[in-house]
Structure 1
Amino acid sequence: MKTTKVRFTVAYDGTGYCGWQKQKQEGQISVASLIEKALERVFNEKITLFASGRTDAGVHAFNQVCHFSTHRKLDPAKKWDICWALNSHLPSSIVVKKAWIAPEEFHATISATHKTYRYFILNRPRPSAHLARHMDWVRKPLDIDILQVSTQYLVGNYDFKSFQSVGTPITDTVREVFQADWKWRKPDVLQFTITGDGFLKQMVRNIVGTALMIERRQENPVRMKEILDSMDRRQAGPPAPAAGLYLLRVYYPQDLDKQCIEL
């Protein structure tokens, strides 16, 4: 029977979840498992969900991209609000934002060309009770110049083995980073934005943690290049807390984007 492929974007607060991916252990609640259950309730059939990639426990997303296939016939002209239907079966920490009928060749994971992540740091003498789950907190004033210069050494095509955490069977650790910039979002909020063709396990958090380590020690920013060249995880800093990390955007070929019809 012919199926329809549906693409959608979802935002979520990763606090309290074991991450995106479904886990075998009982009691572990993942973002993907809740969305899959909501899809099965709405479409009344078994659904297999695919996403652009995994996020770790406590990591958030502004625009995670997913797809699934359904036997249900969907007519864009009828403007069925699939997002509203799904959100009625999801907790408030998970929101389906937009949905499209996608071409058969679209795949949320395989078709993605690159991604952007953003990391937020609250930089002031006192923490925030309301932002603790959504930002890292650094008490002492940060030198943005050291942070910015250090991460510029990562822009390009390199082996990022030094910034790969254990727990993944991936052997190819070469990735290309197109952007790695720091800026003040507010007088006490610092943001780091990084775009690349792919990321290793906890790579972004390890980069942020290493940049903060270099800044804290007031080392020469070239230390980042030395750590990168060493291909030794022990040389890098500890991972920055998950609470500050967000999947900001996933990019796909324009020809696939143009073939998607909004529901």
Structure 2
Amino acid sequence: MTKVRFTVSYDGTGYCGWQKQKPEDQVSVAQVIEEALQKIFNEKIVLFASGRTDAGVHALNQVCHFSTQRVLDPAKKWDFCWALNTHLPAGIVVKKAWIAPEEFHATLSATHKTYRYLIMNKPRPSAHLSRHMHWARLPIDIEHLKASSKFLLGNQDFKSFQSVGTPVKDTIREIYKAEWEWRREGVLQFTVTGSGFLKQMVRNIVGTSLMLEKKGLDPSKMQEIIEAKDRKQAGPPAPAEGLYLMRVYYPQDLDIRCLEL
């Protein structure tokens, strides 16, 4: 068996998320890619990813792997990405691919991830960017957002930001970076890097941050919400269209042993 690792970028609009769902008439990103892979390799393909993204959420560098019975030779420089992209819709693009060592696993080998959330903060929405940014009409105080985000850093129990869904062993995660900044005039971005994220955790953090700012509550309220370990104490989730999976990190010893296709 040959294990293939690849990165894929996708526009999550119109998909039920990364993972296959029931009822089966809902189309997932993973399903579309698996069907394309099966056309190329003419065998049953089971696809694994670094993690799931929800309906409407986008990715710039989702990491996946699958195994195939076909023997692939990196020296022959087969353009795997081009071959796969010819079978994919325009909103899903495979960017790079490698032959990975047997012990590599897109889900289990990941050490941490970076997500980004975009907010258009202008009096009028954009007809062209509405699927890719959350729109907020009233002015937002970025200094308030920066102050509340400081309480997210470190190893903590983030149960207050976990939506109902996939069960997990525990809700403790470590956040290394949580920064708000102006991406450009009228566009805010929140970048967060952590050891892992609970279901809708980033969207719930953003929604809570905006709630605290809108109500004029002290930024330290964020710490109280975290310590409560109660989802009802936090704000509503921010809309899916503003969220992007930016990067997934893996141990260097696995990265250097991946041979580019």
Instruction: Give deviations 1:212-246, integer Å, cap 9, x for gaps.
Output: 00010111100100100111111100000000000
Structure 2 Cα separation of the partners of residues 219 and 26 of structure 1? 44
Number of equivalences: 261
Shift of 1:73: 1.0
1:117 aligns with 2:108: no
Question: Which residue is 1:36 aligned to?
Answer: 34
Letter in 1 for 2:2: T
Question: Which residue is 2:137 aligned to?
Answer: 139
Instruction: Give deviations 1:107-164, integer Å, cap 9, x for gaps.
Output: 0000000000000000000000100000000011111110011011010000000000
Structure 1 Cα separation of the partners of residues 91 and 232 of structure 2? 35
Structure 2 Cα separation of the partners of residues 194 and 173 of structure 1? 17
Shift of 1:24: 2.9
Q: Which runs of structure 2 are paired with 1:1-263 in the superposition (5 Å)?
A: 3-263=1-261
Structure 2 Cα separation of the partners of residues 26 and 40 of structure 1? 18
TM-score, normalization: structure 1? 0.98
Structure 1 Cα separation of the partners of residues 90 and 65 of structure 2? 21
Bigger drift between 51-60 and 20-29 goes to: 20-29
Instruction: Give deviations 1:166-206, integer Å, cap 9, x for gaps.
Output: 12222400000000000100011100000000000000000
Aligned-partner SS, 1:115: strand
Structure 1 Cα separation of the partners of residues 24 and 3 of structure 2? 30
Letter in 2 for 1:120: L
Show structure 1 runs of 4+ deviating over 2 A.
none
Instruction: Give deviations 1:24-47, integer Å, cap 9, x for gaps.
Output: 313100000000000010111111
TM-score, normalization: structure 2? 0.99
Letter in 2 for 1:45: E
Structure 1 Cα separation of the partners of residues 146 and 49 of structure 2? 31
Aligned-partner SS, 2:256: helix
CA RMSD of aligned residues (A): 0.6
Letter in 2 for 1:184: W
Shift of 1:253: 0.1
Structure 2 Cα separation of the partners of residues 131 and 149 of structure 1? 28
Letter in 2 for 1:182: W
Structure 1 Cα separation of the partners of residues 140 and 126 of structure 2? 17
Structure 1 Cα separation of the partners of residues 5 and 107 of structure 2? 11
Aligned-partner SS, 1:65: strand
